[in-house]
Amino acid sequence: MVSSPTARLGRIFIHLFMLLIVSLCIIPLMAVFSTSLTSESDIAQHGYSLIPLRPDTTGYELVLKNPQTLLRAYGVSILTTLVGTLVGIVVGALCAWPLSRPDYPHRKKLAFFVMFTMLFNGGLIPTYLVTANLLQLKDNILVLILPYLANAWFIFLLRTFFQTIPMSLVEAARIDGADEFLTFRKVVVPLATPALATVALFYSLQYWNDWYLALLYINTESLVPLQYLLSRMMSNLDFISQNVSAMPAGVNMSSLPRESARMAMCLLAIGPMLFVFGYFQKYFVRGITLGAVKG
């Protein structure tokens, strides 16, 4: 393709604009990174900065002092994210497909049923009663996976993507003698690859970032995921600084993890997801063009 000078100029402007956006996204992260490498006394003296003036690795040393805990938490997080994403995308897609089909008779009812869960919830205590007492899922790795498998928001997202698939292709497949599942696999999956990849990415983020399920249902240290390790560190400090006047004397604040350690932990927790993101990006290009299927 030969591009005209105006088009080239346009592209340069787009790049400049994107550069602005991207730097806005990266600068705060640099602050986090720089804090993870700065000692508290340096922050007190010189303030925060984007580039560590005198790199100090104590934060990382503190966090890595106990590698078993960290590795185990990585293990739990990776496992729940993998299984959750794989099963979740199947559950979500299978629910979204009929919702996207104008010929599905209970479409409206099902859509309402799904949408309702986005608005109403039973609240913490009833949910806990069902999950912990009725389903007996406490201290079970499944409790970190099952509650998030069906997600109304993801299902609607998928449904909207599926709606762009022309019905003619579906009917053509049916005439060829394919049943519902085969049609889904042969027609929908290849055509909706970017959509499925997007939602799979969202599933994996949801699982990777969650700490709340662990807070409620996990008592065994060996089942603690990475984000709960992080959130525990954060909330310990938060609580003490907020409630210091209410607490009995002699709460020793010196034992709290320093800021650099907390930021180091945070960076260690997001690291793997950057790779995952790159992996999903592969699918953000069109798998098969419509024309190929039509032919």
Contacts (CB under 8 A) with other proteins, residues 51-110: 65-66, 69, 90-92, 94-95, 97-99, 102, 107-110
> Applying CB under 8 A, what is the total number of residues that bind other proteins?
142
The residue range among 74-82, 113-121, 171-179 that interacts with other proteins, by the rule CB under 8 A, is 113-121
CA distances from 20 to 26, 31, 47, 274, 277 (A): 10, 17, 25, 21, 21
Q: Which is nearer to other proteins, 125 or 175 (CB)?
A: 125
Q: Which is nearer to other proteins, 175 or 219 (CB)?
A: 219
Q: Is 43 in the site for other proteins (CB under 8 A)?
A: yes
Q: Which of 57, 128, 186, 189 binds other proteins (CB under 8 A)?
A: 128
Q: How far is the CB of 177 from other proteins (least distance, A)?
A: 19
Q: Is 261 in the site for other proteins (CB under 8 A)?
A: no
| Of residues 124, 123, 125, 98, the one with CA closest to residue 113 | 98
Q: Is 185 in the site for other proteins (CB under 8 A)?
A: no
Amino acid present at 264: A
Amino acid present at 213: L
The residue range among 72-80, 114-122, 167-175 that interacts with other proteins, by the rule CB under 8 A, is 114-122
Q: Could you tell me which residues come within 8 angstroms of residue 141 by beta carbon, excluding any fewer than 6 positions away? A: 76, 79, 80, 223
Q: Could you tell me which residues come within 8 angstroms of residue 104 by beta carbon, excluding any fewer than 6 positions away? A: 98, 110
Touching other proteins, residues 131-150 (CB under 8 A): 131-135, 146-147, 149-150
Q: Which is nearer to other proteins, 24 or 175 (CB)?
A: 24
Q: How far is the CB of 191 from other proteins (least distance, A)?
A: 8
The site map against other proteins for 205-244 (x = CB under 8 A) is x---x-----xx--x-x-----x--xxx-xxxxxxxxxxx
Tokens of 216: 């409620």
Q: How far is the CB of 79 from other proteins (least distance, A)?
A: 19
CA distances from 176 to 35, 100, 166, 179, 233 (A): 62, 21, 16, 9, 58
Q: What does the DSSP assignment read for 78-118?
A: HHHHHHHHHHHHHHHHHHHHHHH-TT-TTHHHHHHHHHHHH
**226 touches 73 (CB < 8 A):** yes
